[in-house]
Structure 1
Amino acid sequence: MIRITDILDKVTENHPDADVDIIDRAYIFSARVHDGQMRLSGEPYLSHPLEVAGILADMKLDSVSIAAGLLHDVIEDTHATEEEIGEIFGHDVLHIVSGVTKLSKLPFNSAQAREAESIRKMLLAMADDIRVILIKLADRLHNMRTLQFHKSAAKQKKIAKETIDIYAPIGARLGIYWIKNELENLSFEFINPEAWQEIRRRVAKDKQDRESYITTVKNYIQRKLDENHLKAEVTGRYKHFYSIHQKMLSQNLSFEEVYDIIAFRIILDTIPHCYEALGLMHSLWRPIAKKFKDYIGMPKPNMYQSLHTTVIGPYGERIEIQIRTHEMDRVAKSGIAAHWSYKEGKVIDENVSKTFAWVQNLVENQEAFRDPDEFLENVRIDLFPDEVYVFTPHGEIKSLPKGATPVDFAYLIHSEVGAQCVGAKVNGRMVPLKYELQTGEIVEVVTSKGHHPSKDWLHFVKTVKARSRIRQWIKTQEKERSLSLGREMCEKAFRKFRLNFNALIKSEEMQSVVESFGFKQTDDLIASVGYGKITPLQIIRKISPKEEVDNAESLFNKVVAKEKKRRDKDGVVVKGMDDILVRFGKCCQPVPGDPIIGYITRGYGVTVHRTTCVNAMKMNPERQIEVEWNQERTDSYPVKILVRSLDRVGLLADVAANITKSGANILSAHTETKENQTVDSYFTVSVQGTEHLTRVVEALKQVRQVLDVKRLG
């Protein structure tokens, strides 16, 4: 286990004037509040924040970052409070620790929602202070290094999947490739252990021969550089198992066919030396066309710079060679941490801030997404590490994800340009809109006024911005279709009652009807009919309540009376509407005090769900309607709870007695005894609201040998 003295030595070496006192105080505080806590590995919990701080010291981060690294778990896992951290260590440390803290204490409806919200919070804090994500990466790296101590294989796989989907790409986008590579390799071992073991076995099998080969090729390279008086450091290394596996999959190769299991790196003093060394390598061995990339002349957005070339080596095999300066090598290893500098908590390097504007864009793109699945999908799109760099006709470089199309490019320029895009020219030649752009191409968008996006574009666009703008347009179109459908439904219904809809729609009487439903314009009212939120009969009753009608009206009145009677029984008010049938979602069972939302269900009136209900989140937002609890009513509502406890005689009687003492009625109950001598007891109880439910839960937690009580749904 790393010691605090090792960390302090590293910090002093990197920053001679650093304030090491704040690190020392953070260590003492962390040791005190984590005292007695253990990791799954059997080590004291303090080993984790120490290892995280050690990784941050290796990244040459400042004292505030390392102090925050030592404290990153204290709010979540100990009795320490945010106020305490702020008071003792200052605003900067508190801000970073709050950003890193997960949202596991909040009552999310599902693990997926919790994961989405945790990542959303992390991104928001990251846009404000990049040190948040650097600590989060260090935290995740040490957790992955100790993942084997998790007893659940399913949990190991889930954590590894999240790491490879979210955290490794963030590492790549930040240019910290050693963290990215290690996270991918550690995740690969748990996601696909069979493939990992097979590659490990094959690499180990010929290790002696490969090491001899590395020495031979390094000698060839070094000799060529020495002959031309170029001072350089030459290294050869094995590629990571995950990288080898990905190449085998993407190019459908066997292990023997993967040529660049070993890569070579030449590190020199200056940029001119890099290009000179490149020329020497191409004179020594024949280069392969289209396998040369100049990231010095055109750096990656995360500041990575290097020359990459692939040549035919001394034995007729392919060799990948990277050529860079010492400074470029430092940036390649540390990424943004090599450039990020702070003074009194403020960023002083504006160029770095501009370069990482993608973080802010990513946050802005994600704020609109409520569905956890959609949010996570779009974060993965934004973090996709492979990118292409194209030019505008004026020579400006634009960065897009690999596979991006002219439509993505058009939306990147401006939303209006994207909407009016009818064609595109690449290097002066017309291409289809779904053409995949390549690095170095000049892209020109052809627009036409009055043109609109196509639903088909959703099948090939790659950027979140293009996707969200196209969906926005589709929703607008759906409203227009609903308007047309609503008008048609109203005309038919009005004719049955011998009313002229087209004449009435322009009358002052209709305007008062529109306002009575809570709308400003007549079109909004008619569109609501098309959506199914309001029936034409409801409008007719507002216009001519005393009109004699036929049997259909009589039948309608019976239905309305039944609905009204039912509505009066319910403790929910539908804003702006009368005579609406209300029912509660069985999936989430809302009770007074829960934030709620209503959804129009054709033929069933309004169904009320909790706002956090996963099923509600998947419903069409256009059918959403505002509802609120009726404060005047004090009815009881059913809610499901799970009581997890150790098995003992008289347990069920004690649990039932405490529910009754809390003023709740048991509607149903059943128990399941587990193999580990625990009992899961499922109850449906009637309560008057969230406060009443809280009292019931607290009472149950007092029962002897009850381990956990939680609300279901």
Structure 2
Amino acid sequence: MREMLRQYELVERVKAYDPDADEAMLNRAYVYTVQKHGTQKRASGDPYFSHPVEVAGLMTDLKLDQETIVTALLHDTVEDTLATIDDIQRNFGPDVARLVDGVTKLSKIEQMPENERAAENLRKFLLAMSEDLRVLLVKLADRLHNMRTLHFISKPEKRQRIARETMDIYAPLAERVGMYEYMREMQLLAFEQLEPLAYATITGRLAQIRSEEGGQVDEIAYRMKQVLADAGLQVEVSGREKHPYSIWRKMAERHVNFEQITDIMAFRILTDSEEDCYRALGVLHRNWPMIPGRFKDYISTPKSNGYRSLHTALVYRNSMRAEVQIRTHEMHRTNEFGLAAHWAYKQGGTTPDGQVGWLRDLIEVLDQAQDAEELLENAKLAIYQDRIFAFTPKGALYQLPKGATPVDFAFAVHTDLGAQAVGAKINGRHMPLRTPLANGDVVEIIKGNDSEPQLSWLSFVATAKARASIRRFVRLREREEAIETGEDLYESIIARMPGKVGKKALNAALKRLDMADADTLMHAIGEARISEREVMEALVPGSAAELPDDSFWQAPERRVRIRGLTRGSEFELAECCHPVPGDRIVGIRDGKIVNVHTIDCLTLAKESGEDWIDLSWDPRTDGATGRLKVILYNRPGTLAEMTGIFAANHVNISHLALQSRDERFGHYIVDIEVRDLAHLTRNISALRASDAVAQAERI
């Protein structure tokens, strides 16, 4: 570890790139943090103030403005000493006080349970970032220095927790703002703690390769430089083995061992101009075969964090593969330090708007998460960086994660467009909404004015924004539908009771059931969380005992009516997707019969969009058959519990088939008669809540 920066060295560093910096304020901040932290010690035994001084040093490496340097020096004083934000403002001004407060807010929740603490940490972090991105830069430097000294912490579980949080949150955030140097070092240090055996094996194997093969990397780099020089290009070429964590991730993804990884060498070529980047690419491809599918042009279409480079992979010799990045010197600086490069003092602290659009989406997700688990799930989806590019018909570019669908695309364009999506054209062809998008796809969203997001979309969307929006819409709609269903059931209950039931009896029932209002009761009835007998007893104690058991609800014979068919047309509900009222539906004509499918049925992908018939449910339809796949734990009573759940939720089982059974599980296909999609969804939710059920999903 290098010796701690002295006061005059820190000031000299800042003055070297910003001669107009306020030297007196820098000196005051250095002295202030030394005095306030006093005799406090770190786990390493070093004085505590060595940490903020080193974080400030990291900020000078990035040539950041004096307010950021001072914030780095003071970032722990409010949390760990008697200093207050008012003290900071009085001594260093409102801008520094605001930044210090932003970083401090992230650190006051260490005592919370792990998931809650991580979620709350992330929430406050992102909100502070949205106000001033320099908060993020200081926090990333703070986390990087803490990771460098993590091995001094004696408790393994604490090291593991910090390393996991770094891997899950801070390294992806560093990548998201283009600070790849920080990202790689954080991942390497976290990897060492989380997978010590794998870390030791891979780093040892890399060292062995270096000793056995000598200067092979240098040899290839020299040969590339020579070939490019012969073509009239003056470039810098550097080579290295790939990052140990990158190798580990590739081994896990491909399910291979180290010896089967053939592309462990990576090379970087720096040129003087963008034109030279493309010329160098052509020279390399003429001299060595390229590996198909591995070329990416991030110069013409930069990543959302501003990253620009050409990527290719070559077969050098003897099936040896080498990854190559080609970029200008200026691109390289921006790529390694990303957003920080735009906060350098000479830029005046302005940040390109396009680089933080993802952050605004993430802030929107914060308001829609129901709990800590959901927040973390959405945040991880939003900040991981494996991206594809898709276009609107007018040419607007949107970056989405791999696996994204037209639904994700629609929500990326606008929340309202996502909510109203009923179909999509990909490259001019009608395709199901669950179709994964490919790089360069042109996507046109077809919308309906009265449409709403569907619960089934959660099974295939890939973005946090889409997932959070769908859950919010579904929660609101399910509550409204449950209340409406509950009101209908309530009317049928009181119609079968002896005597008239009025408002006075309802108010008394609410008190007996400890419910706040009538909507709460109707919601409980609609979700089958309270039985009809319980409602009767609450309204008029003793009334349910006077009624025979067969007076309670029985599923009626189902009548299905469809709108949008020509006179005389016959229809069948498709066996592949089993649509029920509430699903959006289309028809495919097969002779005289029209097969009715849900809008996102995979079968539709095989049909031309021009053959679709736009259909809708007739309001007089009172239900249909939904098909479920249910996996029960193989122990006595689980089948009875499943059928009991259906009975409690007012459905008839029209078909039950055991597909397979082993020592642990029984796999069943179940057809149930339901009123609508909401009724079907409530039954699935009830199944998933049962200890007898390992898995339940709609087919």
C-alpha separation between the residues in 1 aligned to 2:307 and 2:409? Answer: 23
The Cα of 1:266 is off from its aligned counterpart by 0.9
C-alpha separation between the residues in 1 aligned to 2:187 and 2:53? Answer: 23
C-alpha separation between the residues in 1 aligned to 2:370 and 2:446? Answer: 34
Q: Secondary structure at the match of 2:439?
A: coil
Give 2:543's aligned residue: 552
Report Cα offsets for 1:577-604 as digits up to 9, x if no partner.
xxxxxxxxxxxxxxxxxxxxxxxxxxxx
C-alpha separation between the residues in 1 aligned to 2:325 and 2:187? Answer: 21
The residue type equivalent to 1:3 in the other structure is L
Find the partner of 1:292 among 291, 295, 301: 295
Q: Does 1:183 align with 2:174?
A: no
Runs (5+) with no aligned partner, structure 2: 547-681, 683-699
Give 2:482's aligned residue: 481
The 5 A counterparts of 1:83-162 are: 83-102=86-105, 105=108, 110-162=113-165
The Cα of 1:535 is off from its aligned counterpart by 10
Q: Does 1:492 align with 2:483?
A: no
Give 1:371's aligned residue: 371
Give 2:662's aligned residue: none
Give 1:70's aligned residue: 73
The residue type equivalent to 1:299 in the other structure is P
Report Cα offsets for 1:492-512 as digits up to 9, x if no partner.
1354142278xx99xxx999x
The residue type equivalent to 1:179 in the other structure is Y
Find the partner of 2:238 among 235, 241, 245: 235
- Check the 8 A contact 1:22/1:64 in 2, yes or no: no
C-alpha separation between the residues in 1 aligned to 2:67 and 2:183? Answer: 24
- Check the 8 A contact 1:233/1:266 in 2, yes or no: yes
Q: Does 1:456 align with 2:456?
A: yes
TM-score under structure 2 normalisation? 0.71
C-alpha separation between the residues in 2 aligned to 1:236 and 1:167? Answer: 27
C-alpha separation between the residues in 2 aligned to 1:353 and 1:550? Answer: 65
Give 2:388's aligned residue: 388
Which range is displaced more, 315-324 or 274-283?
A: 315-324
Change in 2 beyond 3 A, CA 1:347/1:12? closer
The Cα of 1:139 is off from its aligned counterpart by 0.6
C-alpha separation between the residues in 1 aligned to 2:274 and 2:27? Answer: 41
C-alpha separation between the residues in 1 aligned to 2:149 and 2:85? Answer: 28
C-alpha separation between the residues in 1 aligned to 2:131 and 2:105? Answer: 17
Q: Does 1:349 align with 2:350?
A: yes
- Check the 8 A contact 1:486/1:528 in 2, yes or no: no
Give 2:274's aligned residue: 271
Change in 2 beyond 3 A, CA 1:273/1:103? closer
Q: Secondary structure at the match of 2:305?
A: coil
Which range is displaced more, 430-439 or 175-184?
A: 430-439
C-alpha separation between the residues in 2 aligned to 1:51 and 1:429? Answer: 57
C-alpha separation between the residues in 1 aligned to 2:175 and 2:463? Answer: 18
The residue type equivalent to 2:469 in the other structure is R
Q: Secondary structure at the match of 1:36?
A: coil
The Cα of 1:229 is off from its aligned counterpart by 2.1
The residue type equivalent to 2:231 in the other structure is N
C-alpha separation between the residues in 1 aligned to 2:109 and 2:325? Answer: 47
The residue type equivalent to 1:277 in the other structure is A
Which range is displaced more, 113-122 or 58-67?
A: 113-122
The residue type equivalent to 2:350 in the other structure is D
- Check the 8 A contact 1:260/1:318 in 2, yes or no: yes
- Check the 8 A contact 2:368/2:472 in 1, yes or no: no
Q: Secondary structure at the match of 2:441?
A: coil
The Cα of 1:201 is off from its aligned counterpart by 1.1
C-alpha separation between the residues in 2 aligned to 1:397 and 1:157? Answer: 40
Report Cα offsets for 1:646-681 as digits up to 9, x if no partner.
xxxxxxxxxxxxxxxxxxxxxxxxxxxxxxxxxxxx
Change in 2 beyond 3 A, CA 1:188/1:207? same
The 5 A counterparts of 1:662-681 are: none
Percent of residue pairs bearing the same amino acid type? 40
Give 1:435's aligned residue: 435
- Check the 8 A contact 1:20/1:63 in 2, yes or no: no
Find the partner of 1:3 among 5, 17, 22: 5
The residue type equivalent to 1:40 in the other structure is A
C-alpha separation between the residues in 1 aligned to 2:178 and 2:17? Answer: 20
The 5 A counterparts of 1:500-579 are: 526-527=522-523, 530=526, 551-552=542-543
Change in 2 beyond 3 A, CA 1:284/1:106? closer
The Cα of 1:169 is off from its aligned counterpart by 0.3
Find the partner of 2:171 among 159, 168, 172: 168
Q: Secondary structure at the match of 1:280?
A: helix
The residue type equivalent to 1:269 in the other structure is D
C-alpha separation between the residues in 1 aligned to 2:60 and 2:434? Answer: 46
The Cα of 1:290 is off from its aligned counterpart by 1.5
The 5 A counterparts of 1:190-201 are: 190-201=193-204
- Check the 8 A contact 2:421/2:448 in 1, yes or no: yes
- Check the 8 A contact 1:493/1:536 in 2, yes or no: no
The residue type equivalent to 1:492 in the other structure is I
Change in 2 beyond 3 A, CA 1:95/1:439? same
The residue type equivalent to 1:262 in the other structure is M
Q: Secondary structure at the match of 1:319?
A: strand
Change in 2 beyond 3 A, CA 1:358/1:35? same
Find the partner of 2:215 among 212, 217, 227: 212
Change in 2 beyond 3 A, CA 1:252/1:179? same
C-alpha separation between the residues in 1 aligned to 2:331 and 2:119? Answer: 35
Runs (5+) with no aligned partner, structure 1: 544-548, 556-619, 621-713
Q: Secondary structure at the match of 1:206?
A: helix
How many residue pairs align between the two structures?
541
- Check the 8 A contact 1:483/1:523 in 2, yes or no: no
The residue type equivalent to 1:150 in the other structure is I
The Cα of 1:103 is off from its aligned counterpart by 5.4
Q: Secondary structure at the match of 2:268?
A: strand
Give 1:600's aligned residue: none
The Cα of 1:205 is off from its aligned counterpart by 0.8
Q: Secondary structure at the match of 1:461?
A: coil
